[in-house]
Amino acid sequence: MENVWSTLKRQKYKIVGAHSAVKICHWTKKSLVENRVCYKQRFYGIESHRCLQMTPSVAWCTHKCLFCWRPVEYNEDPPLDYEVPEAIVEGCIAAQRELLSGYHGFLEKVDINKLKEAENPTNVAISLAGEPTLYPDLSGLIEEFRKRGFSTFLVTNGTTPDVLSSMDSYPDNLYITLPAPTKEIYEHICNPQIKDGWEKLNESLELLQKIKTKRRILRLTLVKDFNMGDIEGYSELIEKTNPDYIEAKAYMFVGYSRKRLEVENMPMFEDVLAFCKELEEKTGYKSIDFAKDSRVILLSRN
């Protein structure tokens, strides 16, 4: 019987140590082969081919979201021992290079100079799978990447406000995912595995504006027919969060989410656009950029 580890390996994850993992991002591949780039490059200047997508807690999360691409149906006990940040960072860089090694066989399609740059990543997206704040030395991990000249992105589901409030080092871009405008919708779509998940998320939202970092971003993951109503509810949560930016992004019908949702639940770009127009009317935020391929719109108060 397949378990979570064999499933992840089959899905081209490279397991690093006992609890971390790397996977080559869709947009890293697109950048190497087609010279197309991720919205992070368009919005924030991050080079897609030099982005390392990883997680220090690949099989552990406080949610089992309907829209998650990973096999949340599996239950794994947290590790008894955690690896130190330096070992994770070195292991992840080595894993990225190993995963990219196959591209040397397609140099008629790939620029060799760009591929060499990709083997020396300069940005880390700590967001691949699981909930990264469950790793106990997240600040140390961010610092280890920073020592090597990396810019840092961290995406959290907001259920660990105690971690966010006590970190010594914060990432350059700190994301909190807001998946619902109300507790009822949140519990239905996220299936929280902890008590008071909604209350903890709200505590994290209130913390966000107090955290000193380069960019504080609220990520709205939009699932058609599930969480794209109640604009008033979203606007109230946005007001108390006061992020620098909002990313309104469509759920993508990929991975194991296809076992829980239908392709019709994936919003078209026009659906996201209509949602954001309503959001603009209720908040002080305005759309300032978009990436149609990724079905994402960036909003800012400035």
Distances in Å between the alpha carbon of 294 and those of 37, 47, 92, 249, 301? 10, 16, 26, 8, 22
pLDDT of 26 reads 86
Higher pLDDT, 3 or 100: 100
Considering the chain, what percentage of its residues have pLDDT values greater than 70? 98
- Looking at the chain, list the stretches that DSSP marks H as alpha helix, in order from N- to C-terminal side: 4-10, 26-34, 39-44, 85-100, 112-118, 138-147, 161-166, 183-190, 197-208, 231-241, 269-282
pLDDT of 252 reads 92
- According to DSSP, residue 52 is labeled E
pTM score = 0.90
Q: Strands 151-156 and 173-178: what pairing? A: parallel
The answer to whether 186 touches 228, Cβ cutoff 8 Å, is: no
pLDDT tens digit sequence for 148-170: 999 999 999 999 999 999 999 99
Q: CA-CA distance, 191 to 100, in Å (whole number)?
A: 35
The answer to whether 222 touches 228, Cβ cutoff 8 Å, is: yes
pLDDT tens digit sequence for 13-35: 888 888 899 998 888 888 888 88
Identify the CA nearest to 243 among candidates 163, 196, 161, 298: 298
The average confidence (pLDDT) of the chain is 91
Distances in Å between the alpha carbon of 252 and those of 269, 285, 302? 11, 24, 29
**For residues 210-237, average pLDDT:** 94
**Is the model's pLDDT at 1 over the cut of 50?**
no
pLDDT of 286 reads 96
> How distant is the alpha carbon of residue 13 from its chain centre?
16
Distances in Å between the alpha carbon of 131 and those of 98, 203, 264, 271? 25, 17, 27, 28
**Is the model's pLDDT at 243 over the cut of 70?**
yes
Higher pLDDT, 124 or 9: 124
Identify the CA nearest to 57 among candidates 70, 67, 46: 70
- Look at the block and give the residue holding tokens 């368009």: 42
Q: CA-CA distance, 11 to 28, in Å (whole number)?
A: 16
What is the band of 75 on the pLDDT scale with cuts at 50, 70, 90? Answer: low
Q: Strands 215-222 and 173-178: what pairing? A: parallel
Enumerate domains of the chain plus CATH numbers: 4-300 (3.20.20.70)
Identify the CA nearest to 221 among candidates 289, 126, 155, 300: 155
pLDDT of 189 reads 95
Task: Tokens for 90, please give them.
Answer: 């070195």
> How distant is the alpha carbon of residue 43 from its chain centre?
15
Distances in Å between the alpha carbon of 236 and those of 152, 233, 271, 278? 29, 5, 21, 13
Which of 124-128, 179-183, 245-249 comes out lowest in average pLDDT? 124-128
pLDDT of 154 reads 96
Identify the CA nearest to 90 among candidates 144, 142, 135, 31: 144
